[in-house]
Structure 1
Amino acid sequence: MTSLLRFVGTGLFACALSLSGCSDSGPGDGTMDPPEPIAELTDYVDVVPTEPCMDANSLEPRANCTDPSSFDLSGCDLAAVGALEPSGIYQATFRYSATSNFSGGFRLDTKPSFLGNAPVLNEVGPQGFFITGETYISDTSVRWYALAGCRVPEPGRVTGCFVRCTDDVPDRSGTFDARRMNLAHEEDTGAQPMRLVSETAVPVGYPVDVYVTKGHAYVVSVPRFPEEGGLSVFNVSDPAHPVFVTRVSLPKDTYWNGVWAKGDALYVASGNSGLAVFDITNPADPQYLRSLPGGAINVHTVFVDGDRLYAMSPYPNAETLLFDVASPLEPRLLSRITVPHEEDTTSYPHDAFAYGDRLYVNHTSTGYVVLDVKRPDVTPVLGTYAFSGQFSHANAVGTINGRTIAFEGGERVGAHLRVLDVTDPANIRLIGEVRKRPQTSIHNMVLKGTKLYVAWYHEGVRVFDVADPAHPKEVAAFDSFQEAHPRSTDSLYQGAIGIRVPGDGHVYVVDMSRGLLVLKDP
């Protein structure tokens, strides 16, 4: 989950991953012919709308935010709109123009919401589809967004027009395309359904990551007001019947977003105190030892590779901390790695994957960056893959058909799976991709041999055969998102978020509403 969630709130919020992936293979030698590159279309692909209710000029809106009749719906299919079921959670893309858009969600049921708050207006039924939500852009200024449904192109989808009003004055208009987030209407991908072995609620916060070792699953959570975050420990010696063991937190330190283990050490990425180190000699009773490197520092994710631990820190210095963990309970700071980026951006390392002598860093808006880390004190940039609007978030790297292949994904509306040939980091090439609904976002992934496991938020868990990396084939799937779950919200960040494949025949998944899910490995 993006580190920015802790500031903007929940209306938006061994071989495994700490919000990363793993591979069983060694670095490639580039002996096979490289696959042909494909064009980069970015995450958001603009579709020119044809809604009859749209304004000729988005800067001159005709409708207002208080009167549904102010929308001109004369050319709309109002019968279809009026028959829309007034329930479910939707994610929508809102378009002002080809270069200006945003996303948001709304919920239509007994607990309606829009943009994370109770709607100002909610009229969905035979009379039509009208929703108005509000946000505060300052202590004294309020902005409303009013939606009017116009068409139902397919089941579970509604399109129409909207107007934006700032302090009651209409100042912008556009079109929207919203899809219901259950998967009842997805086209058949040929994937086999994965079997749910067990489901266990996580007692606090939003669960976001999991690590499995010593017969126990360690689940970390970020706060969900008024609940704090922290660490929840489950005995999974019988994966069909996980047993909650204990919960761990520290005073004023509960924004815990990533977790990893090595030997008797458990490492937690804390948004408050950096790298929190626990002794799990007794796996049911983690004992806090220390936080590194000391002081107030935000560590968002962790990744362990052999005797090295990489801790990605968005704040205060946008750096990756490299520790020596040859003595797992006594990490020793070796260096602080920074990636050059534009001074006027807020780019930071969100996650990383170590493979061979290289570190593959998801550096948010700077892009996907490859570093040489043979020497901890000298880490030159070898190459970068970047595109407009990027928010690089997670990746996994392995050797397939003699070439070094990276699987990368962002975290934003439309973010999806990219397959990159990184054999020559100075010439990174896009060779394949998998897109899901344009209103959703991918999250994390694990690579085991030629099988890629993906936690894809609302799209659930997806498993791909990547033996032919340019053409990933979906072979298994599990729909984890439940729109009727009492802890589900209208946020983009809902559903399957964390994933581990420890090799015991099971896939361990963290769903932000449902908690810890154990699936049979297909």
Structure 2
Amino acid sequence: MASGLPPRAKPRYGEGMRLPIALVALALLPACSSDKNSGGDDLAACEQSEFDLKGCNVASLDAFASGGPFNLQLTNTDGTPAGVAGMALDPTGAHSTFFGQQQDVQVKLGGGTFFASAPFNINGTDGQVSIAGCEATSGRQLRGFFRRCNVGFNSVEGTFVAEQLVRRDGEAESSGNLQLVAERPLSGALATSLYVSGNTAYVIAENTGIFRYDITDPTNPTSLDSVTIAARKDLVGTTDRWASVAVVGDNLFVTSDVRGLLVFNLKNLASAALVLPASIADARALNNLHYDAAKDHLYGFSQESGGVLAYGTPGATPTLLGNYLSGASPSTGDAPLDGAARGDFLYLSHGTAGLVVLNVSKPEAPVRVGVLPAANNSRTLVLGDYPSNKVYAFETGAFWGSKVRVLDVTNPLNMSAVGPGYATRDAVPVSRMAFANNSLYVAYAQDGLRVLDVSNPASPVQKAYFNTWRASDPGHGLRFTEGATGVALGSNGYVYVADTTRGLMVFREGAGAAGSAQGGAAR
């Protein structure tokens, strides 16, 4: 029986943790125990009655009897991180989402109880996952126990911390010089990222497809067309993940878990697509793309293989120039997840390893030249150019307790953290960032769009925000990262945001721009 909740301590994210492709659900829990049991009811250990709550202040749990959306942090009994997840609990159980499951979810809230459980089947093995609250630790947080049970194996268990997600205390919908001028929700899809090229915005729904909008008039985005996974099952089958895109010339590059890298012609997205070759044994699960216009090189970052692919002439007929394999173990989270180039150097968000720098002056043979460890993990970054040829990286993880770190990376051989960085709260992760004119634009998941003045990188100052995420919107709980998931800056001075529920959102920034405008339906 689970008992003996450990003292409250910040978990050691960044140690022994695999960075998941999707921050959600059962893949984040530890694999089932390697110890096969001797039989019996393997799932019985996940019943509510099997959790030992002696010594818990269960009466305090009634503060969460209304349920709602939560983010969770999970820790194994040995203190190692077990993952993060989102959930949305309905006291009736009828409309709950729990570890990605929406069918047969058991929910018991109130009367000194905070319990949720759901069945699952992974690779043909039945199982059950459950949590039982122990006590409220604040008006918005509680802690307790989790357990995952698998048929034929002993259960795996640990503790959790959960935060009920509401708008931050004291905040309105918006503050500062941001005005919402347009909103285009996606029909039946969750927006997970965003890419802007010229007068076109590409909204990415990683499990559905790519949706293209004409933003010649930013206040009235017009739907152009889309390319979906379902429509291109001839290429990828019925299930795939398209996480990132890049546009170079007439080519639209799309990462594919199944095929690696797809190339569509922008003039006709429905036409046949090219699948780029790769010399890495397994180049699938590309997490992100980065185009270096100065060198005309396209880089792809593979979580699954732990490698970086470099392609030349991507605007015409792309050719594989070379690749880099870190030699680390992607299964522990030490893998390149994102990157940005400056001159001969490629700066990588390298998961649990932190920030890694490659010399790519010879792309056929990249050389690792620098590393700056991260206390949490490194998931995504952007670079900012400053006077006197100074270069700063704004980098962040994607788990509980992540924050925006500011790093002086001018000399890749002697990099250092600068100042305290920036964070809103532990329970909400940063999704994406963009930099321009000494301002950092942060897609901060459930905390919406944040605009920071980073004219002094050592001391970021928030100058505006817009809370895009709304607790009242339907469909919460499927992901740890919901709300503002992507941000991009257009050449026309507007700020573009992808929000999981609200789709494409367009903001005007400037004096007198505070407030919001009426959003329209998708067109």
Q: TM bucket by the smaller chain?
A: 0.7 to 0.9
Tell me how far 1:272 sits from its aligned partner.
2.9
Are the aligned partners of 1:90 and 1:490 in contact in 2 as well (CA < 8 Å)?
Answer: no
Deviations 1:120-157 (A, max 9, x none): 53121355433334556774563443312522622xx1
Alignment counterpart, residue 431 of structure 1, candidates 411, 415, 418: 418
Partner of 1:241: 220
> Would you say 1:159 and 2:120 are equivalent positions?
no
Alignment counterpart, residue 132 of structure 1, candidates 117, 142, 145: 117
Q: Distance in 2 between matches of 1:426 and 1:475?
A: 33
> Would you say 1:337 and 2:324 are equivalent positions?
yes
Where do 1:306-345 residues align within 5 Å? 306=293, 307-314=295-302, 317-325=305-313, 328-341=315-328, 345=332
Q: Distance in 1 between matches of 2:255 and 2:156?
A: 41
> Would you say 1:182 and 2:166 are equivalent positions?
yes
Are the aligned partners of 2:105 and 2:119 in contact in 1 as well (CA < 8 Å)?
Answer: yes
Partner of 1:416: 403
Cα distance change, pair 246–425 in 1 and its aligned pair in 2 (3 A): same
Partner of 1:504: 492
AA of the residue aligned to 1:248: V
AA of the residue aligned to 1:257: A
Are the aligned partners of 2:334 and 2:353 in contact in 1 as well (CA < 8 Å)?
Answer: yes
Partner of 2:348: 361
Give the structure, 1 or 2, with the largest relative contact order (CA under 8 Å, sep 6 or more): 1
> Would you say 1:108 and 2:63 are equivalent positions?
no
Cα distance change, pair 401–84 in 1 and its aligned pair in 2 (3 A): same
Show structure 2 runs of 5+ residues with no match.
Answer: 1-17, 29-43, 511-523
Deviations 1:366-389 (A, max 9, x none): 331111122223422120112466
Are the aligned partners of 2:469 and 2:484 in contact in 1 as well (CA < 8 Å)?
Answer: yes
Are the aligned partners of 1:349 and 1:363 in contact in 2 as well (CA < 8 Å)?
Answer: yes
Q: Distance in 2 between matches of 1:174 and 1:186?
A: 34
SS of the residue 1:5 aligns to: coil
Which is further off, 101-110 or 364-373?
Answer: 101-110
The alignment-based identity, stated in percent, is: 25
Partner of 2:260: 274
Q: Distance in 2 between matches of 1:101 and 1:10?
A: 15
Deviations 1:52-105 (A, max 9, x none): xxxxxxxxxxx9753469654676272x53243513201122445683343333
Are the aligned partners of 1:275 and 1:311 in contact in 2 as well (CA < 8 Å)?
Answer: no
Partner of 1:213: 197
Partner of 1:53: none
SS of the residue 2:405 aligns to: strand
Cα distance change, pair 257–309 in 1 and its aligned pair in 2 (3 A): farther
Number of aligned pairs? 459
Alignment counterpart, residue 276 of structure 2, candidates 282, 289, 292: 292
Q: Distance in 2 between matches of 1:69 and 1:381?
A: 50
Q: Distance in 1 between matches of 2:376 and 2:345?
A: 25
Q: Distance in 2 between matches of 1:101 and 1:336?
A: 31
Cα distance change, pair 164–256 in 1 and its aligned pair in 2 (3 A): closer
Deviations 1:404-438 (A, max 9, x none): 21111122232221111112222221113222322
Q: Distance in 2 between matches of 1:175 and 1:217?
A: 42
AA of the residue aligned to 1:164: R
Which is further off, 393-402 or 464-473?
Answer: 393-402
Alignment counterpart, residue 81 of structure 1, candidates 58, 61, 73: 61
Deviations 1:252-281 (A, max 9, x none): 43532112223433322233333333333x
Are the aligned partners of 1:163 and 1:170 in contact in 2 as well (CA < 8 Å)?
Answer: no
Cα distance change, pair 362–152 in 1 and its aligned pair in 2 (3 A): closer
Cα distance change, pair 274–200 in 1 and its aligned pair in 2 (3 A): same
Partner of 1:196: 180
Tell me how far 1:339 sits from its aligned partner.
3.0
Are the aligned partners of 2:242 and 2:255 in contact in 1 as well (CA < 8 Å)?
Answer: yes
Cα distance change, pair 85–490 in 1 and its aligned pair in 2 (3 A): farther
Are the aligned partners of 1:3 and 1:314 in contact in 2 as well (CA < 8 Å)?
Answer: no
Partner of 1:255: 241
Q: Distance in 1 between matches of 2:330 and 2:434?
A: 33
Q: Distance in 1 between matches of 2:375 and 2:271?
A: 44
SS of the residue 1:210 aligns to: strand
Tell me how far 1:11 sits from its aligned partner.
6.5
AA of the residue aligned to 2:503: G
Q: Distance in 2 between matches of 1:170 and 1:318?
A: 31
SS of the residue 1:161 aligns to: strand
Where do 1:341-352 residues align within 5 Å? 341=328, 345=332, 347-352=334-339
SS of the residue 1:360 aligns to: strand
Q: CA RMSD in A?
A: 3.6
Cα distance change, pair 165–9 in 1 and its aligned pair in 2 (3 A): closer
SS of the residue 1:153 aligns to: coil
Tell me how far 1:401 sits from its aligned partner.
4.8
Tell me how far 1:232 sits from its aligned partner.
1.3
Alignment counterpart, residue 209 of structure 2, candidates 226, 230, 237: 230
Partner of 1:405: 392
